[in-house]
Structures are given as structure tokens and as C-alpha cells.
């Protein structure tokens, strides 16, 4: 079975919800073993044993939060089994630079061995604390399904 680890950071819970929906989508496809963790509790030795890593962050000041930047830097120093990666973010405004782009760039610099499964997903929230804008959650599930299908082929 393909093993996928999902790690996220969240201040108000929205990015966590996105991560959970993505996992739901992957499980619906089946044939994928999933694990999910808050970045503050993540065991990097465990992550290193997975085939794919999904990384999610709220957009803070046009980029990912510090905890996620540090995670990406640490992954670059590990002997990773993983070959695949995908990222997601939550944001309130459309005119800022997307955190997913910054995450993808940082991953490319720090862990060049990881290839993108799909382009990053940005999920809009109504306000600082959420909730997630209507119609966005189904996209998260679809994102998970797409990732699972791609990893299985």
C-alpha cells in the first residue's frame, strides 16, 4: 500500500479541517495508508518512512507559517523514503502571494528529491478565523482523491 503522511499547522482549525477532508478523499479512493499530524506533534522519523508527504499551512503574511518552513528545512536533512509531495494552504484574500507557491519553492530548494504529485491547493476562508468558504471543502476532498489516484498508478 502507498503510504501518505499529511502534516499541517493551524491557528484556528481551518487548515486542520482541510487536511482531514483531503484524507477523507484519499480514503475514498482506497489502497492508500494515511497518517495525519499537527506539525507540533509530528515525529519526523516516522514521516521519513512514508512514500508521500502532504504539507499544509495557513497563509500568514503571504507565506507559510514558521513551523512549516522549519519542517521543510528539517525534511531536507533527513534520509527520506518519500518521493512525492503536495502542498495546500488556507487564505482570506486573493491578492497576496499564495503560500503554496512559497512552500513549493522551498521544497524544491531544500528537498530536491521530492517531486510534486499535483500543483498546490489554496482554500479560501471567510475571515481570519474562518469558516471555510462554501464550496471549498468539496475541492479538498477532490484534491485528496486526485492525489490517491495518481499515487496508485
Ligand X SMILES: Cc1cc2nc3c(=O)[nH]c(=O)nc-3n(C[C@H](O)[C@H](O)[C@H](O)COP(=O)(O)O)c2cc1C
Cβ count within 10 A of residue 129: 11
User: What is the closest distance, in whole angstroms, from the C-beta atom of residue 54 to ligand X in the complex?
Assistant: 15
Quick one: which segment of 27-35, 68-76, 88-96, 111-119 binds ligand X (CB under 6 A)? 88-96
Q: Is 60 an interacting residue with respect to ligand X (CB under 6 A)?
A: yes
Indicate if the alpha-carbon torsion angle 122, 65, 104, 115 is positive or negative: negative
Q: How far apart are CA 66 and CA 51, in angstroms?
A: 24
Q: How far apart are CA 139 and CA 153, in angstroms?
A: 21
CB closer to ligand X, 22 vs 114: 22
Q: Is 125 an interacting residue with respect to ligand X (CB under 6 A)?
A: yes
Q: Is 61 an interacting residue with respect to ligand X (CB under 6 A)?
A: yes
DSSP string computed for 21-32: HHHHHHHHH-SE
Q: Is 122 an interacting residue with respect to ligand X (CB under 6 A)?
A: no
Q: Which residues pair with 91 in a beta bridge?
A: 124
Q: Is 131 an interacting residue with respect to ligand X (CB under 6 A)?
A: no
Q: Is 130 an interacting residue with respect to ligand X (CB under 6 A)?
A: yes
**Options 13, 67, 76, 131; binder of ligand X; rule CB under 6 A:** 13
CB 152 within 8 A of CB 32: yes
Q: Is 14 an interacting residue with respect to ligand X (CB under 6 A)?
A: yes
Positions in the binding site for ligand X (CB under 6 A) = 10-15, 58-62, 90-93, 96, 125, 128, 130
Amino acid at each position: 500500500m502507498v503510504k501518505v503522511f499529511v502534516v499541517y499547522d493551524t491557528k484556528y482549525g481551518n487548515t486542520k479541517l482541510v487536511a482531514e477532508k483531503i484524507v477523507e478523499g484519499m480514503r475514498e479512493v482506497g489502497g492508500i495508508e494515511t497518517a495525519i499530524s499537527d506539525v507540533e506533534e509530528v515525529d519526523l522519523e516516522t514521516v521519513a518512512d512514508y512514500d508521500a508527504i502532504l504539507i499544509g499551512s495557513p497563509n500568514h503574511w503571504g507565506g507559510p507559517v514558521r513551523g512549516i518552513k522549519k519542517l521543510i528545512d528539517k525534511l531536507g536533512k533527513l534520509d527520506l523514503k518519500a518521493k512525492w509531495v503536495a502542498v495546500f494552504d488556507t487564505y482570506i484574500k486573493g491578492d497576496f502571494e499564495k503560500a503554496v507557491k512559497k512552500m513549493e519553492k522551498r521544497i524544491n530548494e531544500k528537498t530536491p528529491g521530492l517531486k510534486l504529485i499535483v500543483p498546490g491547493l489554496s482554500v479560501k476562508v471567510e475571515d481570519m478565523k474562518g469558516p471555510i468558504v462554501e464550496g471549498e471543502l468539496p475541492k479538498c476532498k477532490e484534491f485528496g482523491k486526485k492525489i490517491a489516484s495518481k499515487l496508485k498508478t
